[in-house]
Amino acid sequence: MPKYHTQNLLSSPLDRPELSPGDRHSNEEHPDFDPYLDYYDPVRTIIAWRAPSRPYRKKARSYYTTVALLIILVSMIAFFWGERLLIGALLALGFLVYVLNFTPPGEIDYKISSQGIIIGDHFYHWEELDSFWFSEKEGLKILNILTKFRFPGLLMLVMGNTPQDQLQRIVAHYLPFHEIAPKSTLEKWSESLQKNFPLETPQK
pLDDT tens column, 151-168: 899 999 999 999 999 999
Of all residues in the chain, the percent with pLDDT exceeding 70 is: 70
Task: Check whether 2 has a pLDDT greater than 80.
Answer: no
pLDDT band at 193 (very low <50, low <70, confident <90, very high): low
> Quick one: pLDDT at residue 19?
45
Please report which helix (H) or strand (E) contains residue 131, including its range.
strand 129-137
Please report which helix (H) or strand (E) contains residue 4, including its range.
none
Give 72-115 pLDDT, tens digit per residue: 888 888 888 888 888 888 888 888 878 777 788 899 999 999 99
Task: Write down the domain spans for the chain.
Answer: 61-104, 110-186
Q: What angle do CA 108, 131, 142 make, to 5 degrees?
A: 40
If one compares 192 and 41, the residue with the highest pLDDT of the two is 192
As a whole number, mean pLDDT of residues 187-197 equals 66
CB 153 within 8 A of CB 115: no
Task: Check whether 16 has a pLDDT greater than 60.
Answer: no
> Quick one: pLDDT at residue 144?
96
Q: Is 29 helix (H, G, I), strand (E, B) or coil?
A: helix
Contacts (Cβ under 8 Å, ≥6 apart) of 75: 86, 87, 90, 91
Task: Report the amino acid identity of residue 84.
Answer: R
